[in-house]
Structures are given as C-alpha cells and as structure tokens.
Chain A
Amino acid sequence: MKERYDVVVVGAGPAGSTCARFAAARGASVLVLEKDRDVGMPVRCGEAVSNRSLEKIVDIDPRWIAATIKRFRLISPSGHVVEPDLGGYGYVLERRIFDYDLARLAVEAGAELHTKSYVDGLLPRNPEPGTTTDMSSEEKETSSAAKDRSDDSSGWRGVSLQWKGEPRTVEARIIVGADGVESRVGKWAGIDTTTHMRDMETCAQMTLSNVDLEEDACEFYFGNDTAPMGYLWVFPKGRGMANVGVGISGMASKQKAAIRYLQEFVERRYPGAGVLTTVAGGVPCATTVDTLVKGNIVLVGDAAHQVNPMSGGGITSGMIGGKLAGEAIARALEKNDLSLLNEYPKQWRKEVGAKHDTYYRMKAAVYKFPDETLDDIAVNVLKLREDKRTIWGVFKTALRHQPALVWEMMKTFGLRPSA
C-alpha cells in the first residue's frame, strides 16, 4: 500500500468495484479498501437482476448465473397467483462469484485492492490553527496540493484505517464512499445519509437446498402476515436450491423482526429443506441522497441510497452509480478540476435518480394497500385474458383501486391528469 493515491474507494461491493474499474481504466491511481477478509462474503442479497440492466454495465460471464428467470409469480395474501408476462428475462446471480469478479476487473484495470482494511475516519486537510499535530511532513504536501485549484480547503486529505489490525493513513485527492447500507463516509463528511426507519427494509435471508420449486420462476409473496410493508421472495438457484428472504419496513419491524417472518414461512412451506446460510441485511429503499458529491467526497451505491425503492434492487443501479462516478472522477483528474465531479449527480439524476423518485412515491401508495385490496387486484387480474396479464395489466388493475397511484403513473409518463 502506497502513501498516496488519486482515489481511495471505501468498500468493494458492486458499486465500489465498478467505480474503481472505470476510474482506473482511464489512468487514475485507485486504491480500494474492504473491511472484510473476503470480497463479496457473506452474501446478503436476493441476487436477482434484469439481464438488460446488467448488460449495459458489464460483459456477462455465464459463471455468475445460477438461474435464468422467465417468469414472475406474484402471490396475493390469500394465495391467488398472478403470472404477468415479463417481456424480458432476469438472472439469479451467484454473488459469491460475481462480486469477486467485479473486484478482479477493477484490479485488471489498474486498481489496487486490500481486504481486512477497515476505514475508521477521514483526515482533515487543514488542521485547526493552534492545534498541535505531528503531521509536519504531511502538511508540506498539503501546501503543494493547495496550489491545485481543484483541491479546495473544504476537502479531506485522505482516510485513516485499520489495516490488518494496525492503524495507518492513506492520502487521496478523491475519496469514494461505497461502503454500503452501513455507510459512514458520507456522515463523516457532513452529508446526511441516515436512512429513515420507514425506508429501511430490514431483511432476513436463507439459502435453502433440497426444495421443490420451478427453476425459471421468481416468486413474490405479499401480505401483512407474510411481509408487512415489503415482500417475501423465493428465487431459484438451480439444482434444487433457493434464495429465500423477507424484507419489511423498519416501521413493521418494530412489532416483529424479519427473521421471525422468514422462519415461519420456511417451516410452513419448506419443512424438509437444508439451510445452507442464514443472514441479516438492510436495504435503504429511499430516494437518492441529496448530496452525491461534496468537495472531494463522492458517494455511490447503497451508501448513496441508489436502490430502486420499489423493488429493493440495488445491484445494477449501484453499478450505474459507480460507473458514472468513476467516469466523472477520471475526467476531473485529467482536467485537474474537481468541480467536474458535479457531472456525476446530474447524470445520475437523468439516467436513474428521477425514476427512483417516482418509484418511491409509488411504493408509498402501494404500502397503504390493505390485504383485501391486494387480493382484489389479484382476482381481477386473473379475470383478464391471458395475453393481457402483463406487468402493465397488473398495474392498471391496481390503479383502479388507488387513485394516488394513477396520479403518480401519469407523472411517470408525463401525462396530464385531465387527459
């Protein structure tokens, strides 16, 4: 590990590795720091992505794919099954391999990566006048960096970390917080990244073996007894294995924790299954944080709440965030102008962020549906001709039950309410 890099990325998840790859590919010196001993472990994820969004960011390696999904099965509280036509397909990934490979691609592009590297703070650039520090040699470097107009005085000099248990510091011109749901980098820089309890989907997830399920269908269970203000998923992983999990809003979790919902479901539905993993997790299902760039601090992925707030999917959207940030970082370094980092928030908003705002409003409306409404929607969708049972068909049926949704949908498609 060197003393100084152009970029330090905190966290080697999909967002951090992708950001590092795109910045390093254009010549930046990049260091990725991961607190855990193993990249991508443990897996805390449903691992489902759409092929189209993934293809846009990376060449898909067949080794990443545990199952190819052709069908969605939406199961209402009293058991009505709706199978909307997907109009595309999806994958259930093997994230153990996927996250590893994204990190490998970053390293192949020129980044340096260290595990067992826990970042525990940011280094202030200008120590308060009068405070005694023993950083005289580092201060010299700071004064030379101060000439660089891009390194504004509000920025940070680098990070402090515990590397294999030993304290040390690393300097960087740009610091990327890719530190996931537990992100603190933004908070240290004074950015409000705290997730509201209502928006935190608190999750429990298991990997089951020896289960009887359809290998090309993702199942989603809805209802107050199964997954209040969220859903329960059963995703096939091939060879009789399944990724099964539940995510509920922090508000619902006050009464009963996610793990209890999951245990009850698995005992009821898959009593003979082998349980290969049991993990906890959290997904920030909110709108994107207001400040993605502050001085020389950049946030990507879950750390920036770049998750689709409706589905809770954050793999590909976090990677898009990472890519856009990585490219903006490379440009800012090439032109020696940190203000170019601000292209990243603008592009994010245009490509994804604005859509997430809409999904967020839709989620708020759907959460208000009582179980009877959900059942009603399912029954009415089943009355539609089979070729009309698209995601859109489900939605149109839902719209009839919730005027608030109509309003949001119209805004999504840029329609006027009178039309």
Chain B
Amino acid sequence: MLLIEIKPNTCDFCGCCVGVCPEDAIELQEAHISIIEERCTNCAKCVWVCPFEVLVFNKPEKAGARERTV
C-alpha cells in the first residue's frame, strides 16, 4: 500500500526526491510527478528531502497525515 502522498499543486518538479529514491519509483516529467506504487517501499526518503514539503508520509494506523515539521 502506498503511504506517500503528493500534495496537489505544490510540486516544483525539481527532481531532488528522484535523486534519493533507491527504488527508481518516481516518474518526473516537465510538470507531472507520480509514484510507481509497485516499486515504492515507503522508505520516506523522498519526503524528507523535498525542499517544498510536497510529499507527505501517511502513517498506516492513523488516517491523518503526519507533518514532517515537528
């Protein structure tokens, strides 16, 4: 189950997340981003490096989104 969520209309398509993804699970075009669910292991590295806080890790137990910033 994919736990990474892409907040709509916030991505800048910079590729930082793609660079750290160990599974080649992110598809990034000029103005389109998507996560390939079959490859993603929910490691959350992409979430942590995103400069614009576009990606969110949704913990499975709790339905609510966990904010990166504490």
Contacts and interface: CB of A to CB of B under 8 A. Distances in A.
B50 interface: yes
Contacts, number: 96
B16 A280 contact: yes
A209 interface: no
A159 to B, nearest CB: 15
Interface string A16-49: 0000000000000000000111000000100000
A279 B52 CA distance: 9
A188 B39 CA distance: 14
Interface in B24-39: 24, 27-30
A200 B18 contact: no
Nearest to B32: A118
A392 B24 CA distance: 42
Interface string A108-133: 00000000101010000000000000
Main secondary structure of the interface of B (DSSP, over half): loop
A385 interface: no
Contact of A281 (B20, B24, B51): B51
B14 A44 contact: yes
Nearest to A261: B51
Give the interface residue-count category, chain B: 20 to 34
B15 A197 contact: no
A182 B28 contact: yes
Contact of B30 (A35, A44, A184, A196): A35
Contacts of A184: 18, 24
A167 to B, nearest CB: 13
B18 to A, nearest CB: 4
A392 to B, nearest CB: 33
B69 A202 contact: no
Contacts of B14: 44, 181-182, 279-282
10 contacts: A120-B27, A181-B16, A184-B18, A200-B19, A203-B51, A257-B68, A279-B14, A280-B51, A282-B49, A282-B51
The 10 closest A-B pairs by CB, nearest first: A182-B15, A282-B16, A182-B18, A280-B14, A258-B51, A280-B12, A280-B51, A250-B49, A254-B48, A195-B19
Interface of A: 35-37, 44, 116, 118, 120, 162, 180-184, 187-188, 194-197, 200, 202-204, 250, 253-260, 279-282, 284
